[in-house]
Amino acid sequence: MRILFIASLHHPEALKPAAPGEPPPLFPPSMAQHWWDRALRKRGHITAVFYRNRPTLGGIRAERHAQGLTPGKLARAAFNHLPPEANPDYRLRNRRLVEQARAFQPDALWLVGDNTVIYPETLAAIKAETGCKLVYSTGVSPIVFARPIEKRAARLYDLVLVNDYYHGIQWLELGARRMECLPMSACDPDFHHPYDLTPEERAAYACDVAFVGTLVPDNLYSRRVAALENLRDFDLGIWSVHDVPPSLRPYVRGAALGETMLRVLSAAKITLNVHGDFMHYGGNMRTFEAAGVGVLQVVDDLPGTRLWFTPGEMIVTYQNGSDLRQKAAYYLSHEAERAAIARRAREHAYAHHTYDQRMARVEQLIQELS
């Protein structure tokens, strides 16, 4: 198949040059789309991407999120109050997408969620001209988080991929043709594995409890902040490309994307994985990446985490701050149990939760669309 991704490019600074003899990567390894694309190419599919967040003038800049108001936030808020159709730059981006699709002739358009740019009319025109199927993937509820522009296009979606079964039902109610509850994050054994560290790396990264991820704004990540604040008297290390709340700044050791993130996890005894406030089922990238690295993962107790990994055998789940502290202290003092759980998680992830397996299922679902 010929698959054209429509997505935003995050972490452009992490986009690496292609290895000799290989096509250039479409996304950096810090984005799940990098691994979707890699697995699809391995299966013989031809892929391309339209970066919807690339301005018609200039390039894509790396974003650093911070608490509080900034001139950039105020400017974006003003633009967000305008209908997307009133934005002249958006109109030009939509025309360029039509031109790219006309030249590429996709069998499937894969629209990644959090779209604020691409009009439903543009998607309908591409489907009518090329006969392609439209796949939409998202990790959030359409009722709470999906943009109006995404919900207006729901009847065009031939297949919606969601982490949470109930979100899929909501998309069906909005008019999507079919949905599949399938976590779109996974691991790649060639990349997500334990890393051998130099003495300098171990000195820089070693800690009892590591957290790598985003912590602002508070209305999206308050659960993460609360969990980390409960562990401030532990040997805690935090890595984030964005700002962090003042209460946690003493524990910040820098940014960690791609392989650096995996090296950080390889140096830790425990990694804490707390889903964003907007995820109530589970299935973020760290769930499967940490399992692949072979580090003990302590994660908030959500239905998906219990479904994909057996608590107490492959992961450790916690209920509240007191439970988190108790379990972190216990497993820090029981190295053999900690290592056994981490080993079983890695074995299970490699057997059941690889990107190759995810894309094999997506391929089957697209082929079933008539």
- Dump pLDDT digits (tens) for 311-368: 999 999 999 999 999 999 999 999 999 999 999 999 999 999 999 999 999 999 999 9
State how far the Cα of 125 lies from the Cα of 119, in Å rounded to an integer.
Answer: 10
Tell me, yes or no, whether 100 and 161 share the same domain. Answer: yes
* pLDDT, tens only, 297-315: 999 999 999 999 999 999 9
- Higher-confidence residue of 66 and 147: namely 147
Q: Which residues are bridge partners to 180 per DSSP?
A: 161
CB 234 within 8 A of CB 248: no
In a domain, 156, yes or no: yes
* DSSP characters over 84-125: GGG-HHHHHHHHHHHHHHHHH--SEEEEESS-SS--HHHHHH
Look at residue 200 in the predicted model and tell me its pLDDT: 97
pLDDT tens, 7-55? 999 988 888 888 888 889 999 999 999 999 999 999 999 999 999 999 9
Q: Region of 349 please: left (phi>0), alpha (psi -120 to 50) or beta.
A: alpha
Residue 267 confidence (pLDDT)? 98
Domain count, the chain: 2
290 in the same domain as 141: no
User: When comparing pLDDT for 156 and 279, which is higher?
Assistant: 156
Is pLDDT above 90 for 73? no
Q: Which of 5-14, 63-72, 211-220, 248-257 is the least confident region?
A: 63-72
Query: If pLDDT is split at 50, 70 and 90, which confidence band does 6 have?
Result: very high
Asked whether residue 231 falls in the same domain as residue 260, the answer is yes
Residue 29 falls within a domain, yes or no?
yes
Confidence label for 62 from pLDDT (cuts 50, 70 and 90):
low
Question: What integer pLDDT is reported at residue 19 of this predicted model?
Answer: 82
> 170 with 222, same domain?
no
Q: Is residue 347 part of a domain?
A: yes
What share of the chain has pLDDT > 90, as a percent?
84
Q: Is 54 found in the same domain as 118?
A: yes
- The Cα 68–Cα 222 span in angstroms is 15
Does residue 66 have a pLDDT over 70?
Answer: no
CA distances from 85 to 52, 82, 167, 319 (A): 14, 8, 27, 45
Position 69 pLDDT exceeds 80: no
Is the domain of 240 the same as that of 363?
no
pLDDT exceeds cutoff 80 at 242: yes
**What are the φ and ψ backbone dihedral angles of 81, each rounded to 5 degrees?**
-80, -10
Say if 191 falls within a structural domain: no
When computed from its CA atoms, the radius of gyration of the chain, rounded to whole angstroms, is 21
Place of tokens 């292609």: 18
Quick one: pLDDT at residue 71? 63
pLDDT, residue 83, reads 87
pLDDT at 106: 98
Domain co-membership, 361 together with 269: no
Residue range 110-134: average pLDDT?
98
Kindly state whether residue 35 falls inside one of the protein's structural domains: yes
Q: What pLDDT, on the 0 to 100 scale, is given for residue 14?
A: 84
Q: What is the pLDDT of residues 180-195, one digit of tens each?
A: 999 999 999 999 999 9
Find the domain containing 342 and state its range: 199-352
Whole-angstrom distance, CA of residue 207 vs CA of residue 231: 12
Q: Are residues 134 and 205 in the same domain?
A: no
Alpha-helical regions (H) of the chain:
32-42, 71-80, 88-104, 120-130, 148-152, 165-173, 199-205, 218-229, 259-267, 285-293, 303-308, 321-332, 335-352, 355-368
Residue 85 burial (CB < 10 Å; 0-12/13-18/19+)?
A: exposed
Q: Is residue 193, in this structure, part of any structural domain at all?
A: no
pLDDT of residue 177: 98
Domain containing 169 — which CATH number? 3.40.50.2300
Check which CATH number belongs to the domain holding 282 and give it: 3.40.50.2000
| Mean pLDDT, range 54-59, rounded to an integer | 86
- pLDDT (0 to 100) of residue 78: 61
Instruction: Give the residue-averaged pLDDT of 94-105.
Output: 98
Q: d(Cα 358, Cα 308) in Å, to the nearest integer?
A: 13
User: Does a structural domain hold residue 342?
Assistant: yes
Q: Where are the alpha helices (DSSP H) in 294-334?
A: 303-308, 321-332
User: Do 148 and 282 belong together in one domain?
Assistant: no
The whole-number average pLDDT for the span 84-109 is 96
- Give the C-alpha distances (Å, rounded to integers) separating 164 from 180, 184, 297: 9, 11, 21
The pLDDT, as a whole number, for residue 304 is: 94
CA distances (Å), origin 167, targets 36, 172, 179, 182, 196? 21, 9, 9, 11, 40
| Residues found in the chain | 370
CA distance 64 to 214: 10
Same domain, 140 and 240: no
Tell me, yes or no, whether 194 lies in a domain.
Answer: no
98 and 140 in a common domain: yes
Cis peptide before 29 (omega within 30 of 0): no
24 & 71 share domain: yes
With left for phi above 0 and alpha for psi between -120 and 50, is residue 312 left, alpha or beta? left
Q: Which residues contact 246 (CB under 8 A, 6 or more apart)?
A: none
DSSP, collapsed to helix, strand or coil, labels residue 172 as helix
Q: What is the mean pLDDT of the chain?
A: 94
